[in-house]
Amino acid sequence: MNKFNRLKTETRNPVSMEIDQMSTLEMLQVINQEDITVPLIIRDNLNQIAQAVDLIYEQLKEGGSLIYVGAGTSGRLGLLDAFECPPTFGVSPRMVRGVIAGGEKALLGAVEENEDAYEEGRLAIQENGITASDVVVGLSASGLTPFVLGALDEASNRKAKTMAIINNPNPDLAKKCDSVIVCETGPEVITGSTRMKAGTSQKLILNMISTSVMIKLGKVYQNLMVDVKPTNQKLINRSINIIAEATGESFEKAQETFLKTQDVKVSILMLKGKLNHSSAVKLLEETGGVIQAALNKIR
C-alpha cells in the first residue's frame, strides 16, 4: 500500500460525505464542528509543546535562531509566524526565520512539485548557515514531506536542535528529532485538504511556541508587548497606551515620556522606578532587557 494512503489526513471524513448536497448553513456547521476539535487535540499535546518551547528558549537566549521549514500551507504558516516576530517582539529578522519549498515564488502561487525535493531541503539549511546554536522546526501534515525531511537531516548533521510539528505519526521522524509534536487532526472535511484542520492546528501551535518563547525572553511585561516597534501611528499610539497601562500614569504623562525615550521599556522603567533616562537604560542592559528583573533590583 502507498505510504500516503495510510495517512488519516488522506482518508474520507464520514461527517462530510454528502457535503456537496448540503445547504450553505449546513456546510458551515460541519466545517465549524470539525474545527472545534482542533484546540482539544492540541490540549492533549501541551506537554510536548512545553518541551519544545523550553528547548527553543534555551537556544535563542544564547544567540541562536529559530528556523521553520515547510512546503505549501505549512511553509506559508511558518513564514507568517516568522514575519510577525520582529514588529511584535522587537527581535532581529534573523532570530526567527521561515524557509518554504520553492522559495519566494511559493508565496505567490502553488509550486507543489517542490515539496518532493529532498536535496533542496538540505540545500536550504546550508544556505541559511545553520549551526549547532540554532533550532530547525519541520512543519508537515503528512510527516513525510521530502523537502522537510531533507532540511531536518541536514540540520541534524550540523548539530542543530531539530523538531517537527506533524499531523500523522512518523516513528522514524520521532527517532531523528529532539522533539516531535504529533497533532492527529484526522480526516479533513474535504478529503486530503490539509490546509483546513491540519493547517489550523499548525498555526495555533506556532502561535503558542513563538509567543511563549518571547515571553520567556522578556519581550512581554505582564501581558503587554513591551518590545513592540512603533513604526506607524497605530503602533505609536499602542506604545503609549502600553506605558500608561503598565505604570498607571495618564496617557499624557506616558506620551510625554515616550516622546523623550522612543522606547517602551525605558519609559516604563523611568516611570515605575522613578529613574532618569540614563539610569533606566543602564539597568535594562544589566538585566538583559527584562523589565521585572530590573524592577526587582530597584526594590
Mean pLDDT to the nearest integer, 229-241:
93
E strand residue ranges, the chain: 66-70, 96-100, 135-140, 161-166, 179-182
Residue range 147-160: mean pLDDT, rounded: 98
Length of the chain, please?
299
Q: Cα(76)–Cα(84) distance, rounded to whole angstroms?
A: 12
- Beta-carbon neighbour count of residue 157 at 10 Å? 12
Which residues of the chain form CATH 1.10.8.1080? 233-298
Task: Answer for the pair 173, 69: CB distance below 8 angstroms, yes or no.
Answer: no
Percent of the chain with pLDDT over 90: 89
More reliable by pLDDT, 2 or 154: 154
Residue 110's pLDDT band, with cuts at 50, 70 and 90, is low
Residue 27, helix vs strand vs coil: helix
Cα gap 227→291, rounded to integer Å:
11
Q: Could you give the angle at the alpha carbon of 56 between the alpha carbons of 51 and 60, nearest 5°?
A: 150
Q: pLDDT value at position 115?
A: 65
Catalytic residue among 10, 58, 84, 184: 84
Decide which of 299 and 202 is more confident. Answer: 202
In angstroms, the CA 4 to CA 288 distance is: 47
Classify each residue of 98-136 as buried b or exposed e, where b means 16 or more C-beta atoms within 10 Å of its C-beta.
bbbbbeeebeeeebeebbebbebbbebbeebebeeebbb
All residues at 6 or more sequence positions from 57 whose CB lies less than 8 Å from its CB, including other chains: 213, 216, 217
Tens of pLDDT, residue by residue over 164-181, are: 999 999 988 989 999 999
Which is nearest to 243 in space by CA: 55, 231, 157, 260?
260
Mean pLDDT of the 121-128 span: 96
Please pick, among 115, 120, 154, 249, the residue that the annotation labels catalytic.
115
pLDDT of residue 229: 86
Contact 170, 144 (CB under 8 A): yes
Largest CA distance in the chain: 71
pLDDT band per the 50, 70, 90 thresholds, residue 55: very high
Residue 159: DSSP 8-state: T
What's the confidence (pLDDT) of residue 1?
A: 45
Where along the chain do the CATH 3.40.50.10490 domains lie? 3-216
pLDDT one-digit tens code per residue, 10-41 = 999 999 999 999 999 999 999 999 999 999 99
18 tagged catalytic: no
Mean pLDDT confidence for 88-100: 96
Give all strands of the β-sheet with 179-182 in edge-to-edge order.
96-100, 66-70, 135-140, 161-166, 179-182
Q: Which CATH class, in words, describes the domain spanning 233-298?
A: mainly alpha
- In whole angstroms, what is the distance from residue 269 CA to residue 246 CA? 10
Asked if 186 contacts 13 with a C-beta cutoff of 8 angstroms, the reply is yes
pLDDT value of position 104: 75
Confidence of residue 298 (pLDDT cuts 50, 70, 90): confident
Q: Are 218 and 288 in contact (CB under 8 A)?
A: yes
Mapped to the 3 state alphabet, what secondary structure does 45-89 carry?
A: CHHHHHHHHHHHHHHHCCCCCEEEEECHHHHHHHHHHHHHHHHHH
Phi/psi for 61 (5° steps) reads: -70, -20
| CA pair distance 54, 209, nearest whole angstrom | 9
Mean per-residue pLDDT over the chain, rounded: 94
Provide the CATH topology of domain 3-216: Rossmann fold (3.40.50)
Instruction: State the helix-helix crossing angle for 24-43 and 46-60, rounded to 10 degrees.
Output: 70
